[in-house]
Amino acid sequence: MGSVSYLDEGQKADEAYQRALRYLGFRPRTQKEVEEYLKRKGFDRGAIEKAIEKLKGYRFIDDRAFASSWVNSRMRNNPKGRAAMARELRQKGVDAEIIDEVMESVSREQEEAVANGLAQKYYEKYREADERERVYKTAQALARRGFDWELIQRIIRRLT
């Protein structure tokens, strides 16, 4: 009787693993995202833990690699400030230590270059507005993207 429950437990872990692989097939995910997905699908804690362990063993889940890739992608495709990217990673369940490590890879110069490019884009977009409103709207757009106020002020001074 004991071996049957063990088989059932193993089968559930295998099923959770297969489900997680399909979920990971769409895009990389954090460990927390996969755990929550499997929980929503009705798997118990034991099956989830075994599936996660196996996924990590094969490096299908690697929060450090995920965070690094996420930040690189953000810098290229949807630029945001360091604070905003860190917040997004926290929401995805990435450990604070990993976030700090990955955010150190983004230099202040890189962040400033990205913010400067965005500022020029927004400043041009609002060219019909008077100068004061144009500056205000550009600064607000950068703030919404998570850039710190000190950086925004430096960039605005350069623009005007």
CATH number of the domain located at residue range(s) 2-57 in this protein: 1.10.10
Where is average pLDDT lowest: 4-13, 24-33, 116-125, 140-149? Answer: 4-13
What band does 160 get if pLDDT is binned at 50, 70 and 90?
confident
Tokens of 148: 């710190």
Instruction: Say how far apart CA 146 and CA 129 lie, in whole Å.
Output: 24
What pLDDT does residue 10 have?
79
Give the pLDDT mean for 90-94: 96
The two domains 63-104 and 108-159 share their CATH topology (first three levels equal): yes
| Cα angle for residues 76, 89, 138 (degrees, 5° grid) | 50
Residue 95 amino acid letter: D
Average pLDDT, the chain: 92
**CATH architecture, range 63-104:** Orthogonal Bundle (1.10)
Q: Determine the average pLDDT of the residues in 114-124.
A: 95
List the chain domain ranges: 2-57, 63-104, 108-159
High-pLDDT (> 90) share of the chain, %: 88
- Place 1 in a pLDDT band, splitting at 50, 70 and 90: very low
Q: How many CB atoms lie within 10 A of CB 118?
A: 19
Query: Which CATH number applies to 108-159?
Result: 1.10.10
Query: What's the pTM?
Result: 0.81
What average pLDDT does range 98-105 have in this prediction?
Answer: 95
Output the pLDDT for position 9: 75
